[in-house]
Amino acid sequence: MASFGTAQAQRILGVVWEIPSDEAQAVQQLETFRKMGITVLEVQKLPSGRLWDEISQHNFTVYGDLNIRFPTAHTLARADSSFYSEINRKVDAFVGHPAVKALKLFSYGAVHDEDFNRAADSLFSSIGPLENTEMYYSGSRASPDPDLPVDFFMLDLHVSPQNVDALPISSSPDPSGYYYHPSPELAHLLTPLKQLFQVTSTHPGDILFLDSRWLLTMTEHHPRLPATLKSQASGEDSIFPTPNEPRPDQHSSPLPIIVLLLGWGILAIHYNMSPIYRKSLFRYFTGHKFFLNDIFHQHIRSPFPALLITTQNALFVAAALFILSRNLWSITGIRGLLHYYPNLLFISGSRYDIFIIALGGTLLYSLACTLWLYLSHQSLRSITQVLTLFAWPLQLNIILGTIVIALYVSGGNATTMASLSAAMLTICLLSFIITARDAAHHLMGKRMRYLGLTIGLYLIAISALAIWVLKFNDPLWQVIDLSLQLK
């Protein structure tokens, strides 16, 4: 059993309270919170009249939450009348009660964006200043804009095995409190909570907010926790006992390693069992004209080698994009994306959906390109010819994907991994153009017509898609930009 005990200042403890629908249960929870030394409640749902009476009787301070999550400049600037009506209704209801001392305007906003700060200033300036009620926001970073109409900032701490020993509590300006969000690996442990109390002990006036459901669950598993929190809140010579808890290992997902072993295993078996593949593997790059002659004279008849290469390419591309998502988006960032696009991870709801979607998308892209190139051609006798031409340059992605996975496992540079992933996508796009040029050599006439139907239309489609995505989807890019900033 580990503990620390020192004379210390009183700590201000709060809970983010999800008010139960059963009023009797809510009253019981308030009594439980009071016995733990909790004095601040942050609520989204407006309490009933009876609960307001209980809150006042126990001298709780209430922070009202307007429940605006992950707002962007577009969210605030283009809000409709119902949005404003709901905000005004909640503001009036909260500030009308003397227990309410602060209003939370939003959480995880795009405070790094000047357009967002201007939109927030325009919207929330109409609310305040309020008599006896301060305004605040929360997130993973503070706004650099001093004109944002708020009085203070609260820092969301997402604690994981990666940062538990060096909690990012510093910010500029200094936060007035913290929200404790343990990762699933740490959610059942007391030691990370103890460390939070230790590292914030120099600022005892900062509020420490705990999730009410998490807290009530923890008290069931750790019966001494309520007394520990009470002693922390009272400022007595306190002891924070913790059991000898094993520290979860910092581990990366095994999926990329599985892809690496599977991809190279397929290659090794294929190379060992197929004489045609052994002969043609490097011939595409070292004797391209001879390789084309083999294709056009149907010396390579089996679609099996091309299908295996296409599958390997899809596996490595999907693994690279999965790694890219882990490097670029935190769990909070993914939640930000899901807030706007709830069906984004529609298969299992986890990050592994990115791998599955990328795998399926790459295979469908390969199939569509092969059919397009084959149906536009009038001289090829077998779709295997086009499939083989399309698949062979994709073998470069096996090498690039292997490097990406090796860098990921060894903790390599994220920018390098992103650059290599972009190169892999470029190879996929260029494979269509390369295949169309190669297939055109087998046409005695109408070569320009074939190139126009393939490369010409392909470039038009890619350009139109790029222009539409980049120029006409500003709300989408605001959401992506916000999600990338959330750590």
Per the structure block, which two tokens stand in for 409?
């496992």
The predicted structure's pLDDT at residue 6: 47
Q: For residue 253, count CB atoms less than 10 angstroms from its CB and return exposed for 0-12, middle for 13-18, buried for 19 or more.
A: middle
Of the ranges 152-156, 236-240, 356-360, 436-440, which one carries the lowest mean pLDDT score? 236-240
Residue 171 pLDDT level (bands cut at 50, 70, 90): low
pLDDT at 52 over 50: yes
Please state, in angstroms and as integers, the Cα–Cα distance from residue 50 to each residue in 30, 37, 54, 96, following that order: 12, 21, 6, 15
For domain 5-239, give the CATH superfamily: Glycosidases (3.20.20.80)
pLDDT, position 4: 45
pLDDT given at position 173 = 63
- Of the candidates 176, 141, 133, 135, the residue with the CA atom closest to the CA atom of residue 158: 141
Residue 154 bridge partners (DSSP): 138
Q: Could you give the CA distance from residue 123 to residue 210 in angstroms, rounded to a whole number?
A: 29
The residue-averaged pLDDT of 7-27 equals: 90
Task: Provide the token pair at 48.
Answer: 């009933």
Task: Say what the pLDDT of residue 148 is.
Answer: 84
Q: How far apart are CA 17 and CA 452, in angstroms?
A: 63
Average pLDDT score over residue span 438-444: 83
Radius of gyration of the chain (CA): 29
Band the pLDDT of 5: cuts 50, 70, 90: very low
Top-confidence residue, 166 or 24: 24
Q: Which residue has the higher pLDDT, 72 or 273?
A: 72
pLDDT above 70 for 238: no
More confident of the two residues 4 and 310 = 310
Mean pLDDT taken over the chain: 90
Amino acid at 144: P
Q: How confident is the model at residue 2 (pLDDT cuts 50, 70, 90)?
A: very low
Could you list the beta-strand ranges (E) of 94-176.
100-107, 134-139, 152-159
pLDDT the model gives residue 486:
92
Amino acid (one-letter) located at 176: S
- Give pLDDT, residue 483: 96
The confidence score (pLDDT) of residue 170 equals 63
Q: How many Cα atoms within 13 Å fall on the side-chain side of residue 4?
A: 13
Domain ranges, ordered by start, for the chain: 5-239, 255-485
pLDDT at res. 14: 97
Inter-helix orientation angle 225-234/212-221, to 10°:
120
**Torsion on CA atoms 425, 430, 435, 441, rounded to nearest 10:** -170
Specify which of 120-124, 129-133, 242-246, 376-380 reaches the highest per-range mean pLDDT.
120-124
Q: How many whole angstroms separate alpha carbon 435 and alpha carbon 305?
A: 16
Q: How many residues does the chain have?
A: 487
Mean pLDDT across 89-103: 93
Contact, 339 vs 70, CB < 8 A?
A: yes
Percent of the chain at pLDDT > 90 equals 66
pLDDT at 422 over 60: yes
Q: Say which range, 170-174, 222-226, 421-425, has the weakest mean pLDDT.
A: 170-174
The model's confidence at residue 237, banded by pLDDT at 50, 70 and 90, is low
Q: Indicate the residue type of 321.
A: L
Q: Tell me whether strands 238-239 and 5-6 are parallel, antiparallel or unpaired.
A: antiparallel
Among residues 40, 59, 45, 29, the alpha carbon closest in space to that of 179 is found at: 40
Q: What integer is the mean pLDDT of 415-420? A: 97
- Residue 172 pLDDT more than 60? no
